[in-house]
């Protein structure tokens, strides 16, 4: 399914009829995404630590293998029954077109992930249940299921457009999740190399009988993480040529990955610091200005209040938010916000909507703190004010009249 439609699908833009046969596809997508993450971790762990030749039927490893086949096959069947949008953004619900579109796209990737290459090769060689050097080498074929990561990438592309998720949390989960997955892969591969050499002339000594796969995995993951963060205490280091080559490739790729992680997190931190720094800079200049001109405390407080009000609402102002949209859409939004109020005023009552729209497009939004004077007696105002939210006091020498507008 094209990515443009996925974004519509998950965030309510697309109505329910665009789900062709599976209206519950949203939940299925996230289930398949979680299962894909588990697949990557399990398959790499199986290559490094589990015996070759597969396990007998009824063994937990065999049950997991059967679950993989069942879930991935169901996912393929689901995608054969899911509507998509073409290049002209038209929803296609024709069954033949859906099948053809899936065949041209992700079907072959999903097929590689579900096809039991390892089982077929073991059966052809009559080596099912045999754990030796050859069957453990053949386990590398199981890494083909790592292509299921495309589902995780699609999920990340979808969630990055969600306003319900903090960008900071999204970045942290994405970056640290990727780092954990990458170090896990390196740990399993490094242990696989040592095991294939029977731990002779290797980075890891032959494990004792009391050591479990969990203990060995923790040791391997420790080596992987200290290498990834460039600490490398030296207690574990590659010995033979195969391990050294793998270590060099791993460290070269680490430079790229760590740079990307640090850069993406730094960008968010710096952006937030720039915002705070701009406010502090403006506040410092205001303090200097007030001090030089000997303003009293009342004016100083009102200036600071107005500065904070303007700074906190600058990003959600009409000028900043609507500048990315065409003029016709901007006029519709402004009309919906202000036309009901403006049409009830004496000046604009019974005036054609075209004139009101033209008037609104020439207006600008201003925010005033409490206690500000808009118009003073005896002055000739050059601006026309339309009160949208809040209250205003009209004072005279004899009375005070308060007018207010409910929050829109």
β pairing state of 390-395 and 400-405: antiparallel
DSSP string, 224-264: HHHHHTT---SSS---SHHHHHHHHHHHHHHHHHHHHHHHH
Per-residue pLDDT band for 195 (boundaries 50, 70, 90) equals very high
pLDDT one-digit tens code per residue, 11-21: 333 333 344 44
Predicted local distance difference test score (pLDDT) of residue 181: 94
pLDDT one-digit tens code per residue, 84-142: 777 776 777 777 888 888 888 888 988 888 888 888 888 888 888 788 888 888 889 98
Query: What is the residue whose two structure tokens read 């443009």?
Result: 4
| Phi, psi dihedrals of residue 80, rounded to the nearest 5° | -75, -10
| Domains, in order of start, for the chain | 1-164 (no CATH), 166-314 (1.10.287.70)
Q: What is the mean pLDDT of residues 219-238?
A: 88
Per-residue pLDDT band for 55 (boundaries 50, 70, 90) equals low
Predicted local distance difference test score (pLDDT) of residue 18: 41
Per-residue pLDDT band for 56 (boundaries 50, 70, 90) equals low
Q: Would you mind telling me the total number of residues written for the chain in this entry?
A: 408
- Angle of CA points 217, 169, 311, to nearest 5°: 155
Predicted local distance difference test score (pLDDT) of residue 220: 94
User: From the CB of residue 250, how many other CB atoms can be counted at a distance below 10 Å?
Assistant: 19
User: From the CB of residue 367, how many other CB atoms can be counted at a distance below 10 Å?
Assistant: 14
Those residues whose C-beta lies under 8 Å from the C-beta of residue 36, and which sit 6 or more positions away, are 148, 149, 151, 152
pLDDT one-digit tens code per residue, 355-387: 777 777 777 667 666 666 777 777 777 777 777
Helix (H, G, I), strand (E, B) or coil at 395: strand
Q: Does the structure show a pLDDT above 60 at 4? A: no
pLDDT one-digit tens code per residue, 142-176: 899 888 888 888 888 778 766 677 777 888 888 99
Q: Is-contact 40 150, C-beta < 8 A?
A: no
Token couple for 17:
């009829």
């Amino acid at each position: 399914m094209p990515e443009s439609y996925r974004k519509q699908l998950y965030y309510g833009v697309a109505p329910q009829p665009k789900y062709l046969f599976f209206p519950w596809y949203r939940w299925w997508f996230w289930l398949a995404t979680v299962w894909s993450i588990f697949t990557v971790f399990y398959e790499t762990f199986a290559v490094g630590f589990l015996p070759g030749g597969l396990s007998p039927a009824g063994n937990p490893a065999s049950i997991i293998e059967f679950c993989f086949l069942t879930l991935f096959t169901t996912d393929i069947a689901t995608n054969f029954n899911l509507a998509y949008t073409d290049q002209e953004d038209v929803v296609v619900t024709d069954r033949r077109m859906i099948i053809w579109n899936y065949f041209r796209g992700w079907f072959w990737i999903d097929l590689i992930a579900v096809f039991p290459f390892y089982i077929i090769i073991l059966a052809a060689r009559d080596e099912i249940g045999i754990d030796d050097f050859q069957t453990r080498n053949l386990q590398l074929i199981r890494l083909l299921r790592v292509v299921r990561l495309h589902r995780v990438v699609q999920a990340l592309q979808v969630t990055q457009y969600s306003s319900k998720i903090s960008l900071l949390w999204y970045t942290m989960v994405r970056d640290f999740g990727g780092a954990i997955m990458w170090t896990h892969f390196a740990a399993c591969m490094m242990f696989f190399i040592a095991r294939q050499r029977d731990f002779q002339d290797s980075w890891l000594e032959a494990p004792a009988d009391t050591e479990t796969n969990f203990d060995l995995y923790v040791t391997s993951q420790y080596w992987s993480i200290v290498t990834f963060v460039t600490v490398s205490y030296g207690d574990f280091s590659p010995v033979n040529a195969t391990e050294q080559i793998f270590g060099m490739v791993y460290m070269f790729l680490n430079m790229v990955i760590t740079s990307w992680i640090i850069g993406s997190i730094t960008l968010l931190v710096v952006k937030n610091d720039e915002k705070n720094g701009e406010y502090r800079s403006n506040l410092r200049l205001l303090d200097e200005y007030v001090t030089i001109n000997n303003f009293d405390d009342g004016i100083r407080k009102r200036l600071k209040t107005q500065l904070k009000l303007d700074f906190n609402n600058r990003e959600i102002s009409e000028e900043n938010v609507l500048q990315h949209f065409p003029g016709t859409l901007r006029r519709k939004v402004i009309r919906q916000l202000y036309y009901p109020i403006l049409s009830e005023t004496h000046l604009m009552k019974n005036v054609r909507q075209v004139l009101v729209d033209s008037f609104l497009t020439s207006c600008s939004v201003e925010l005033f703190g409490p206690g500000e004077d808009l118009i003073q007696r005896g002055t000739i105002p050059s601006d026309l004010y339309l009160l949208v939210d809040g209250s205003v006091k009209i004072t005279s020498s004899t009375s005070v009249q308060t007018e207010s507008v409910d929050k829109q």
